[in-house]
Amino acid sequence: MLSFQESILRWYDENKRILPWRDAPSPYSIWISEVILQQTRVDQGTPYYLRFLKTFPNVNSLAEADENSVLAVWQGLGYYARARKLHEAAKIIASGGNAFPNTYDSLMSLPGIGPYTAAAIASIAFGEVVPAIDGNAYRIISRVFNIADPITGNAARKGINSIAKEWISKSRPGDFNQALMDLGATICKPRNPICSSCPLQYGCEANFLKNFHERPVKISKKNSKHRFLIFDLHLSNKKVGFVKISQGNIWRNLFLFPFTEYENEELFVREVERMQEQGALMLCRDLHVLSHQKIHFNTRMLKSTIKPKGMVWRDLNRLEQTPVPAIITKILTHWEYKISRLI
């Protein structure tokens, strides 16, 4: 274990990635970066991190912001529940005098912070000896020790957690956790790992057996739920009509075009055809893929002179202040030329 530990830290000292939250790490900046990177690659998430820190440079500024402002800055990252929980946790921290929780257990009590994020903050910001076990750590350990149990099962996770606790450096826990993150992101990658450059290559069982592509063992995910929606895109004097979603987990407190959802594809297709027969201007059918849903949708464009009940107008050229999900951005971007002709 000591040999593995020394090899990983030596490699990290020579190869660690230059990342903005590592320049002057604080509990707050580490927290924001880890939450953003939960569902986003580093190269994609970095601009959002910089924008978020510029708008909300500390816990207090985030706590005092209104939710719409937080969601607007988060726009483009998706999984908006993360932003809501960040906001909620910031309020809790601010109510306690802005003293950031400094232990794994106290961090775990905050909304939206799970075992990995709590361990990352506790180890990097406060030097607590606790392993931060993310997908990279699971992949590296399962390959080094050739763990054949499914990674989602209790046996594999319990074994990997036990190994990680033995592996972690007592003197440099934060660096060790970040080393595993970097090693998994750049060398021990899910596909096509660069084993010849890995500091663990000579002790890695999967490299010796050449079965690294089979580790970690995964069980197929359940099929995604399919949804069928028709949006109504109301346009009037360079303004776009939105409704604010007050319920549901995916789009709660976000602004969408008014929409109707259909139980199945047959009803959806039949309604699109009916609208087209009546002369409606329809955009092409499209697909928006989320981790757990596949949203099939079409959009009907309407020039409106009267605002339908429950709808609000937003200036088409100033939508950056309106928190909208990625599906709306996709519609506006893909069909910008048609929209500009109508308004």
Which residues are the active-site residues? 34
Other CB atoms closer than 10 Å to residue 256's CB: what's the count? 17
Distances (CA, A) of 313 to 32, 168, 271: 32, 54, 26
Question: Is residue 25 within 8 Å of 175, Cβ to Cβ?
Answer: no
Query: ∠ at Cα 225 (221, 226), nearest 5°?
Result: 135
Which of 311, 286, 300 lies closest to 339, judged by CA? 300
Question: Is residue 148 within 8 Å of 219, Cβ to Cβ?
Answer: no
Would you state the structure tokens that stand for residue 247, as one six-digit string?
Answer: 């319920």
Helical residues (DSSP H) of the chain, grouped into ranges: 2-15, 20-23, 27-36, 42-55, 59-64, 67-74, 81-95, 104-108, 115-126, 135-144, 154-167, 173-186, 205-209, 265-277, 326-334, 336-342
Residue where the block lists tokens 């009916």 = 274
